[in-house]
Amino acid sequence: MARREMRWFGWGDPAHVSHGLPDGALELLRARVGLADVPQPPFPASAIRLPAAVEFDIPGVELRTDHEARLLRSAGKSYPDLVRMRAGALETAPDAVAVPLLADDVRAVLGAGVAVVPFGGGTSVVGGVEALRGEHPAVVSLDLGRLDRLLSVDARSRVAVFEPGIQLPAAEAALNAQGFTLGHFPQSYEYATVGGCVATRSAGQASTGYGRIDAMVVGLDVATPAGDVHLPAVPASAAGPDLRELFVGSEGVLGVLTRVALRVRPLPAERRYEGFMFGSFDQGCNALRALEQEGAAPHVARLSDESETEVTFAMAGREGVAADLAARYLRARRVERGCLAIVGWEGTLDGVEDARAASVSVLRRHGAVGLGRSPGRAWSRGRFDGPYLRDDLLERGVMAETLETATTWSNLGVLYGAVGDALRRHAPVVMCHVSHLYETGASLYFTFIARQREGEEIQQWREAKAAACDAIVAAGGTITHHHAVGRDHAPWLHHETSQPGVAALRAVKAELDPEGIMNPGKLLATGGTVP
């Protein structure tokens, strides 16, 4: 499958045609946030001036230094990335882009004496692929897009071995052809790579059922500046600390994943997603906890708070059926607001039937009212559309940003309150959903929306982001549940790992990457040294 490139100024397919925001959503935004009267188009790509490129060679490896290649590898898709890109005000660009065809080429790039930024799908929303050079004379973007094969499938052991640069749709297609699925569907699914998911400890929309990517990794190969690490595919081991877990989530600062062996599952014959309505977020959280702890958890379980539910129905437009059902629910209960849950099961026909019956019994016991398959279909249809909407909003002068965390069930309400309060001081619309369930807790995914402060867009974002991160840390949540650390969360890492924890990771980096060429400025950049 050919590599899919995103449009340079924002998310997704360059051929994507925005249908604009639905009337209901425009009305809500106008009333509560404000919109620019005239859409603001991005600065033209060809007119963006990139920093002058430092020239260098890497014997045996082809380097691209053209404007387009450098522009497309200069950043990921975080809010600040997009603001800068749309304004034509890039901070950095790689001096060259290397596109290795073999693991040996990767090793050659690591030996070139320049900073190296591993680049998978380029979907980072935390500044994970910005082309920072650190103390080095030049920086190369190591584009892994042509190391894109499914190398083997061990059907008996349910283990598939991939090269890192294969994008998730291609990985799925190749597995599906052999009767398997990875079951990994982050919102970045259309572009993210298998290696990128492993390097960022990714979770997908169906991870309640299939497990996070870290639960799938059974073996991996890493090329580090100090040499290759091969960790064989074993189901479990007591041979000291688990080094897999050191490279999973290492975000390219220790080396480059050259192969990953992942646990796969049989391709489901049936996928069924339905909507359920709860009277309150708290009631819904209790129901999800019961699902997980009673062994009746579905593959997909998402619960929107009252605010997100309201916006979801305002956005629904064509999904009149579900909105009507929800309205009827609210009237019948004589409440103003409610909370929408999307619950989904995947598997054999019988398996889905049985699993659904078990889930629905728990949901009903906790006060859920079924809305049928229509909201499930609507969610499924739009499950990867969020980032396109962000672009539409940016065009109308609106900041829309998301962040996520996780905590134990007993602390979930405290964390939800603290982060919401912090964000509402910076944005008139703050909404949240639970996106992943665990026996001991769950994740919270926040979206906040505000009118941009013209000329201060980055500063405005920085203030809201810092407020949320401070609140997360103070309330005992993890600084990130699945977006990773990158550049944006690095100042908070030491709160989560303690100072000696960051120091231990820095020691590993000094050992494996003694010159500090690997992805400068990410993950370990400032954590632990910030006041």
- Least separation, in Å, of the C-beta of 216 and a second copy? 9
Helix intervals (H) in 189-266: 194-199, 207-210, 213-216, 244-247
Angle at 281 between CA 203 and CA 321, to 5 degrees: 85
Burial 105-122 (b: 16+ CB within 10 A, else e): bbbbbbebebbbbbbbbb
CA distance linking residue 194 with residue 192, whole number of Å: 7
Beta bridge partners of 398: 451
Helix intervals (H) in 95-236: 103-110, 168-176, 194-199, 207-210, 213-216
433: closest CA among 308, 345, 273, 283?
308
- Least separation, in Å, of the C-beta of 126 and a second copy? 9
In terms of CB distance, is 175 or 231 closer to a second copy? 231
In terms of CB distance, is 277 or 434 closer to a second copy? 434
In terms of CB distance, is 96 or 355 closer to a second copy? 355
- Least separation, in Å, of the C-beta of 166 and a second copy? 20
Beta bridge partners of 231: 220
Rounded alpha-carbon distances, angstroms, from residue 224 to 147, 148, 512, 516, 519: 17, 20, 6, 11, 12
In terms of CB distance, is 1 or 234 closer to a second copy? 234
Rounded alpha-carbon distances, angstroms, from residue 529 to 66, 380, 493, 498: 37, 43, 10, 11
In terms of CB distance, is 142 or 484 closer to a second copy? 484
252: closest CA among 179, 196, 322, 176?
196
- Two tokens at 243? 């080094």
- Least separation, in Å, of the C-beta of 38 and a second copy? 38
- Least separation, in Å, of the C-beta of 503 and a second copy? 5
- Two tokens at 193? 């790579």
- Least separation, in Å, of the C-beta of 112 and a second copy? 19
In terms of CB distance, is 410 or 459 closer to a second copy? 410
In terms of CB distance, is 88 or 249 closer to a second copy? 249
- Least separation, in Å, of the C-beta of 434 and a second copy? 12
In terms of CB distance, is 222 or 315 closer to a second copy? 222
- Least separation, in Å, of the C-beta of 371 and a second copy? 28
- Least separation, in Å, of the C-beta of 474 and a second copy? 12
Sequence-ordered strand ranges (E) for 144-255: 150-154, 159-162, 180-181, 217-224, 227-231
What's the length of the chain?
Answer: 531
Helix intervals (H) in 334-490: 349-365, 374-381, 386-395, 412-424, 457-474
In terms of CB distance, is 231 or 326 closer to a second copy? 231
In the block, residue with structure tokens 């294969």: 166
CA distance linking residue 182 with residue 173, whole number of Å: 10
User: What would the DSSP string read from start to end of 497-524?
Assistant: H-HHHHHHHHHHHHHH-TT--BSTTSSS
- Two tokens at 66? 């053209």
CA distance linking residue 174 with residue 171, whole number of Å: 5
Beta bridge partners of 442: 407, 437
In terms of CB distance, is 327 or 504 closer to a second copy? 504
In terms of CB distance, is 278 or 313 closer to a second copy? 278
- Least separation, in Å, of the C-beta of 120 and a second copy? 15
404: closest CA among 434, 371, 444?
444
Query: What phi, psi does 92 have (nearest 5°)?
Result: -145, 160
- Least separation, in Å, of the C-beta of 416 and a second copy? 15
- Least separation, in Å, of the C-beta of 367 and a second copy? 18
In terms of CB distance, is 212 or 396 closer to a second copy? 212
In terms of CB distance, is 214 or 324 closer to a second copy? 214
Q: Are 482 and 186 in contact (CB under 8 A)?
A: yes
- Least separation, in Å, of the C-beta of 95 and a second copy? 27
